[in-house]
Amino acid sequence: MYAEASSLHGPAIGRLARGYESDPDKQKDLLQEIHIELWKSFGAFDGRCSVRTWVYRVAHNVGASHVVRSRRLRSQLTDLEELEGEMIGIDELQVDRQLVAARIFDLIYRLKPLDRQIIMLYLEGEAAEPIAEVTGLSAANVGTKIHRIKKALKQRYMEGAANARP
């Protein structure tokens, strides 16, 4: 069962891992941890929800735990030389897009685990019903939270853009 679930939902699990962790090496570790927990979890799978919902639930629980652990341990700073070295050969439009995406993901990383879980599933293209199954909330509550999270992210993004102007 694990092999089938991993094959079907592997790309989504990878995107979710990237949503919970920005460091590529730590993403790999998180992805491995998700797969281990998923493999172990199928012993308790009783079919009360779809395999897809089960996979997302396990992945998000592991991701949320990772975030809580990381917040306690992380104090991450990047120096200018390291950043410049990473951007060699990238044109300005690519840089602009990457900066926008990075800023949005930074704002998402700062959300509470449940809100992050909801918006990451939403960004994966999930509707309110499947998100409700994963989170244990009602579909109506999920819809309301998605609207509020998007509004808050937009507001915080705009505030950051306004503060960045000279």
Please tell me whether residues 83 and 152 are part of one structural domain: yes
Please tell me whether residues 6 and 28 are part of one structural domain: yes
pLDDT of residue 93: 66
Please check whether residue 153 is in contact with residue 119, taking contact to mean a CB–CB distance below 8 angstroms. Answer: yes
pLDDT of residue 83: 58
* Per-residue pLDDT tens over the stretch 4-51: 888 888 888 888 888 888 788 988 999 999 999 999 998 888 888 889
Split into its structural domains, the chain has a count of 2
In whole angstroms, give the CA distance from residue 51 to residue 17.
Answer: 18
* Amino acid (one-letter) located at 60: H
CB count, 10 Å around CB of 90?
11
Residue-number span of the structural domain to which 156 is assigned: 78-166
Please tell me whether residues 62 and 87 are part of one structural domain: no
* Per-residue pLDDT tens over the stretch 66-101: 877 776 555 445 555 665 665 566 566 666 776 777
Q: What is the CATH number of the domain that holds 55?
A: 1.10.1740.10
pTM above 0.85, yes or no: no
76, 93, 115 - which closes a domain? 76
115 vs 90, which has greater pLDDT? 115
57 band by pLDDT with thresholds 50, 70 and 90: confident
Greatest mean pLDDT among 70-84, 95-109, 118-132 lies in 118-132
Please tell me whether residues 163 and 147 are part of one structural domain: yes
pLDDT of 166 higher than 50: no
> What is the pLDDT averaged over residues 121-148?
91
pLDDT of residue 160: 77
pLDDT of residue 85: 62
Please tell me whether residues 89 and 163 are part of one structural domain: yes
pLDDT of residue 36: 94
Please tell me whether residues 89 and 148 are part of one structural domain: yes
CA dihedral 93, 96, 97, 102 (to 10 degrees): 160
